[in-house]
Amino acid sequence: MSDVKVPSPTLRRLPKYLNYLRRLQELGEVAISASTMSRDLDIQHTQVRKDLAVTGVQGVPKVGHKIDILIDAIEKFLDWNTLTPAVIVGAGNLGSALLGYRAFQRSGLSIVEAFDLNQDKIGQKLHDVTVYHIDDLVNHVKAKQIPIGIITVSAKAAQNVANLLVDAGIQAIWNFSHEKLNVPPSVIVEDVELDSSLAELSYHLKQRH
């Protein structure tokens, strides 16, 4: 819970635990042991314990963990217990799909505005979110102090969009484009690596033959 650096793999596994725990909770379960989680999720039990430990929870020998406490701890740790506003830039196929993805609510993300260049889209509502012209981006983001910008434009346009977001005082960028973004060190950039995932699939498929 403190200053100790959390390994990135641990961070990336936390949503898996969270998802699994929420499912158990829906099924009416109350408690769970790290050993059982280990089996169900195919993660070493020692690893599960270390991962959960970063959130500050403590289990009870012979009993395990209360599910509601675990869920709460992970949500708080990731800051997923409150909604953080975000804007999306690029109202194409992908942008529109993300706007319609209600599950982000469970991950603390609330997309409040969208921006695009295409005049046909401007003024429209996509999944209850209004699309504005990209010229309005800086003013809107500044005024509302939006901390997160989601980039779903082409690689060619991505750096320009990033510059606008930085000008508007954005704190973090979730980058779905293929472009390696150049931003000041104070701005957090998280790349979604769809290609990397597909590369693993393609390579392993090739290896089968």
In whole angstroms, how close is the CB of 61 to its own copies at the nearest point?
27
- Residue 208 interacting entry, from DNA, its own copies, none, C-beta within 5 to 8 Å by type: its own copies
In whole angstroms, how close is the CB of 24 to its own copies at the nearest point?
13
Name the pairing type of β-strands 172-175 and 188-191: parallel
Q: By CB under 7 A, how many residues form the interface with DNA?
A: 25
Residue given tokens 């693993």 in the structure block: 200
The CA-to-CA distance between both ends of the chain, in Å, stands at 47
- The yes or no reply on residue 10 touching DNA (CB under 7 A) is yes
Closest CA to 15 of 106, 92, 86: 106
- The yes or no reply on residue 90 touching DNA (CB under 7 A) is no
Where b means 16+ CB within 10 Å and e means fewer, 16-38 reads ebbebbeebeeeeeebbbbeebb
- The yes or no reply on residue 35 touching DNA (CB under 7 A) is yes
Structure tokens at 172: 């973090």
- The yes or no reply on residue 1 touching its own copies (CB under 8 A) is no
Q: Is 8 exposed, middle or buried (0-12, 13-18, 19+ CB in 10 A)?
A: exposed
- The yes or no reply on residue 82 touching DNA (CB under 7 A) is no
Stretch 82-121 residues interacting with its own copies (CB under 8 A): 84, 92-94, 96-97, 99-101, 103-104, 107-109
The CB density around residue 54, as the number of other CB atoms within 10 Å, is 19
In whole angstroms, how close is the CB of 57 to DNA at the nearest point?
7
Stretch 40-69 residues interacting with DNA (CB under 7 A): 43-47, 49-50, 52-53, 57-65
Q: By CB under 8 A, how many residues form the interface with its own copies?
A: 60
Residues within the interface to DNA (CB under 7 A): 7-10, 33-35, 43-47, 49-50, 52-53, 57-65
